[in-house]
Chain A
Amino acid sequence: MQVIDRRQNPKSKSLGNRQRFLRRIKSQIRKTVKDAIENRSVTDLDSGEKVSVTANEIGEPTFGFDAAEGSRNYVIPGNHDYRRGDRIRKPGGGSGSGSGGSPDGDGEDAFVFMLSRDEFLNLFFEDLELPNLAKRKLKSVASEKWSRAGYANDGSPQRLNKYQTMRRSLARRIALKRPRLDELNRLEAELEAAESRADGDHGEEAKRLARLIEETRDRMRAVPFLDPVDLRYNRFEQTPKPATQAVMFCLMDASASMTESLKDLAKRFFILLHLFLNRHYRSVELVFIRHTYTAAEVDEETFFHGRETGGTVVSSALEVMLRIIRERYPVQDWNIYAAQASDGHNFDHDMPRTIELLQREILDLCQYYAYIEVGEEESSYVSALWSGYAQLEAHPHFARATVLDPTEIYPVFHNLFASNRQAS
């Protein structure tokens, strides 16, 4: 007989099988994921999702009897008052499962299970990748650094911490009553004095002192000055270096022409981008800049729900963004992403300035600059920004797209970040 403790064995042996299962029903899950982003409130997109798959898709067919055909015999327990020859009305419209519980009538109920948050997000951002990752690739690889982490009982000699070691040594010496060196010296001096006056009763004194010195010496040998138990070494631990950080600029036109529904469209896009960046960087900071003819950094609430009137000068927002980058987010330490949402209006006289700002400075600072034009309906009208930005298309850090309907957000987002996107 043998008793084995298997509790420490790796669990989730089924993980590989689960991955295979998920792969198999990917199309269904994708649909669930798409529905999720449309129906869920934007703030809790970051959790798992219940997926329901119809049994048909993942059924494992076997040869089985048709429950409605043929005749069956059952032997069942608990007869109360039936006699031979009695007839019993069929339960449930004669569907034939009978009171015996037919073993061959397979139910086709939907199969429900939970996707974990990671699985959900993985599928959500499947085959998307951050453009221009190469530029600061090293940054997104989390680097480790050594940092102090208390003291250890052993270590290499160069890490010996003298202060801690001596503290313990001192405490031990006091506790074990180790005679001090100057006490010994004092005794020796007394002995010398006693010997120089060597006569009669002083001889007794010298003998006593000599014995005392001997005892003191013994005690000093027994309790060493520095014992191995006193030794303390500095301990170092590897900790991740908080270098992988990104900042995401949300730029939005806040003029009256941007209705609540247009802002909502824009918001969905920003949320997606934020989620996406969060998966790649340890920390992502958000900066909200809204603009009419002037621009200002605001908090999230004001950004999405505040209302202003006035014209539209895009370059004002870009200037604010540049200023903030210079003040708070030095390019060498930060990955910078920007998304601009607008209905496309801009004062004509501002266009050259806008284009110049983007082309000369911003696009080179940013990892990626996405422009989303939101609209109520399809129209042949080409907005000022859309036509103006046409010349930026060539820049590898720039992308633009139009969104008319919430359902389009995800496809558009997907297109912008699709991993095979040609940055040309």
Chain B
Amino acid sequence: MDNRTLLYEGSEWDFNHLRRVHDAIEEIGVGEMGLDVYRNQIEVITSDQMLDAYASFGMPLMYSHWSFGKRYSREALLYRKGAQSLAYELVINSDPCVAYVIEENSMTMQTLVIAHACFGHNHFFKNNYLFRQWTHAERVLDDLAYAKRFIAECEERYGMQAVERTLDAAHALMSQGVSRYAPQRPVRSQDAVLKAESRKSHHEATYNDLWRTLPKPKEDADADDNAEREYDAAALRLPEENLLRFLSLHAPKLKDWQREVLDIVRKTAQYFYPQQQTQLMNEGCATFVHYQIMNRLHQTGQVNEAAMLEFLHMHTAVVTQPDFDDKRFRGLNPYALGFAMMKDIERICQSPEPEDEEWFPEIAGQGDFMGVLRDAWADFRDESFVLQFLSPHLIRKMRLFAVRDASDAPHLSVEAIHDESGYREIRHRLAQQYDLSKRDPEIEVTEADLKGNRRLVLTHRVRDGKTLSSSNCNRVLRHVANLWGYRVRLIEIDADSGQTLNDYDAVALP
């Protein structure tokens, strides 16, 4: 199949070329690399429309809220001043997979974008377990359309301000609005009855009259009280980490439409949660795929040298990783690290060194790197991926090192470098760095009194002495109190010592 005709020449693109390039890429992506993708839908947009999409979480349609207007004003100003350029593409986890490409892109850029988004990201969306478990690609757009309509109707019926207040509060709790563990099977009432019956029959079967003769404990009343409280907590399924869900289910004063608004925001947050957990892998996967595809296109004579040079220029810009002391350093570049790790897996599979045999016995020298990568893309998230696949070779190549920054120490201390004793430590810490549950504060609803003073208690388990910033905390708490309708308290407890560090309190505005 070598020495095919060129797909295109020059930098101008048109719709026929897009189609031909897509088909050629599909042949390589699906045929040679074994990618499994949703149907593609490529949409050409202008830079203005891209700015619009930027402002609303990158989604093609979104409900109305002032914060999107704020984001738009910001992005537009930065873009017009030339302080920031726009992304070449934007891709949405939906079925069919919608990819936006900007009309200003050159033909090579469009080719790159199609390989990157329509095959790389698309494959990842369709196959990664987090996306499969948490998002419903086939109905994302319908859900968004529903949300937009619902919010608009609410604005009409209950007034813009009321809706805005609810949305403000919900947005403040967005990162506390995700469930981090697999969704529970909904309890059917029939199950509950069965359970109660089996418990009763167990009691009857094991009944022993002897227990009756035991002296009763003195603090009976207390125990009853405690038991009741425990019962309440169980009924509310406390502790609950998903604040938005808890509020939408149990907040006593909310109206039905407000509960629905909270649910809409919660679902949006949940939709983005897998993306936050797999940014490194997702971008790495897409970058690896476009690199592979472009090279194959070139090998088979379907793109010429000029296009290849243009591509390499863009590709290197994308996977640049400045050193920590570089002015451009903004943390680890997910494109760079992801791509490097995947290229490294390819290397281990094809030409392993003794070291790799020792660290990765299952895949070293195994040959079929695409198979290994496809499995990795399907079954890992950033944290576990780093923990599993970061090799000493790459640690040395990128000269990674671990630093600890304690607020009470005058110095940063270097705790591991790329040496024999440091590999595992670096790998472990880098994995933790990608663990979202450690990156966000761990806040749970621990107590909710629905009968007495109706106070809601949230608990923040403080790790490594990282307490909440107090001004923001107070403001968010006010939002929570407004939703809950009564007093809300937030306690910060040190996870190790159990000591209470801070205590915040907020009341609802009338």
Candidates B41, B171, B421, B479; contact of A2 at CB < 8 Å? B41
Q: Is B22's beta carbon under 8 Å from chain A? A: yes
User: Which residues of B sit under 8 angstroms from A332, Cβ to Cβ?
Assistant: none
A70 B172 Cβ-Cβ under 8 A: no
A77 B399 Cβ-Cβ under 8 A: yes
B66 A1 Cβ-Cβ under 8 A: no
User: Which residues of A sit under 8 angstroms from B432, Cβ to Cβ?
Assistant: 73
Candidates A22, A76, A88, A103; contact of B69 at CB < 8 Å? A22
Over the window 317-346 of chain B, the binary record of Cβ atoms lying under 8 Å from chain A Cβ atoms (1 yes, 0 no) is: 000011111100111100000000000000
Query: Assuming the A-B contacts A3-B15, A64-B441, A113-B74, are A76 and B64 also in contact, with contact meaning beta carbons closer than 8 angstroms in the complex?
Result: no
Distance, CA A74 to CA B401, complexed state (A): 8
Q: Is A23's beta carbon under 8 Å from chain B? A: yes
- In residues 81-120 of chain A, which contact B (Cβ within 8 Å)? 82-90, 94, 96, 98-101, 103-104, 106, 111-114
Query: Assuming the A-B contacts A64-B472, A113-B77, are A13 and B52 also in contact, with contact meaning beta carbons closer than 8 angstroms in the complex?
Result: yes
A70 B466 Cβ-Cβ under 8 A: yes
Candidates A1, A7, A98; contact of B23 at CB < 8 Å? A1
Distance, CA A58 to CA B462, complexed state (A): 28
Over the window 452-469 of chain B, the binary record of Cβ atoms lying under 8 Å from chain A Cβ atoms (1 yes, 0 no) is: 000000001011111111
Q: In which size bucket is the chain A interface? A: 35 or more
Q: Is B309's beta carbon under 8 Å from chain A? A: no
User: Which residues of B sit under 8 angstroms from A99, Cβ to Cβ?
Assistant: 324-325, 403, 412
Nearest-neighbor residue (CB-CB) of A11 within chain B = B48
Q: Classify the secondary structure of A's interface with B.
A: loop
Say how far B483's CB is from chain A's closest CB, in angstroms: 14
Q: Classify the secondary structure of B's interface with A.
A: mixed
User: Which residues of A sit under 8 angstroms from B45, Cβ to Cβ?
Assistant: 6-7, 9
User: Which residues of A sit under 8 angstroms from B76, Cβ to Cβ?
Assistant: 113
A58 B411 Cβ-Cβ under 8 A: no
B73 A18 Cβ-Cβ under 8 A: yes
Q: Is B42's beta carbon under 8 Å from chain A? A: yes
B470 A74 Cβ-Cβ under 8 A: no
B46 A70 Cβ-Cβ under 8 A: no
User: Which residues of A sit under 8 angstroms from B400, Cβ to Cβ?
Assistant: 75-77, 79
Say how far B510's CB is from chain A's closest CB, in angstroms: 21
Q: Is B426's beta carbon under 8 Å from chain A? A: yes
User: Which residues of A sit under 8 angstroms from B7, Cβ to Cβ?
Assistant: none
User: Which residues of B sit under 8 angstroms from A301, Cβ to Cβ?
Assistant: none
User: Which residues of B sit under 8 angstroms from A84, Cβ to Cβ?
Assistant: 414-417, 419, 421-422
User: Which residues of A sit under 8 angstroms from B430, Cβ to Cβ?
Assistant: 75
> What total of chain B residues lie within 8 Å of the partner, measured CB to CB?
103
Say how far A54's CB is from chain B's closest CB, in angstroms: 13
Q: Is A72's beta carbon under 8 Å from chain B? A: yes
Nearest-neighbor residue (CB-CB) of A95 within chain B = B407
Query: Assuming the A-B contacts A1-B26, A76-B324, are A62 and B476 also in contact, with contact meaning beta carbons closer than 8 angstroms in the complex?
Result: yes
Nearest-neighbor residue (CB-CB) of A69 within chain B = B467
Distance, CA A89 to CA B171, complexed state (A): 38
User: Which residues of A sit under 8 angstroms from B74, Cβ to Cβ?
Assistant: 111, 113
Query: Assuming the A-B contacts A3-B44, A69-B467, A85-B414, are A74 and B77 also in contact, with contact meaning beta carbons closer than 8 angstroms in the complex?
Result: no
B326 A78 Cβ-Cβ under 8 A: yes
Q: Is B406's beta carbon under 8 Å from chain A? A: yes
Q: Is B136's beta carbon under 8 Å from chain A? A: no
- In residues 252-284 of chain A, which contact B (Cβ within 8 Å)? none
Q: Is A422's beta carbon under 8 Å from chain B? A: no
Q: Is A16's beta carbon under 8 Å from chain B? A: yes
A75 B49 Cβ-Cβ under 8 A: no
Distance, CA A103 to CA B421, complexed state (A): 28
B332 A86 Cβ-Cβ under 8 A: no
Q: Which 9 A-B pairs have the closest CB atoms?
A: A78-B323, A21-B69, A70-B466, A17-B69, A70-B465, A71-B406, A113-B73, A20-B66, A87-B411
Provide 20 A-B residue pairs closer than 8 Å at the C-beta atoms, listed in order of the A residue.
A3-B18, A6-B43, A6-B100, A9-B45, A14-B56, A20-B66, A65-B468, A70-B462, A70-B465, A72-B404, A73-B433, A74-B433, A75-B401, A76-B400, A78-B323, A78-B325, A84-B417, A88-B413, A89-B411, A113-B77
Residues of B within 8 A of A (CB): 15, 18-19, 22-23, 26, 39-46, 48-49, 51-52, 55-56, 64-70, 72-74, 76-77, 96, 100, 103, 160, 164, 168, 171-176, 321-326, 329-332, 398-419, 421-422, 426, 429-430, 432-433, 439-441, 443, 460, 462-473, 475-476, 479
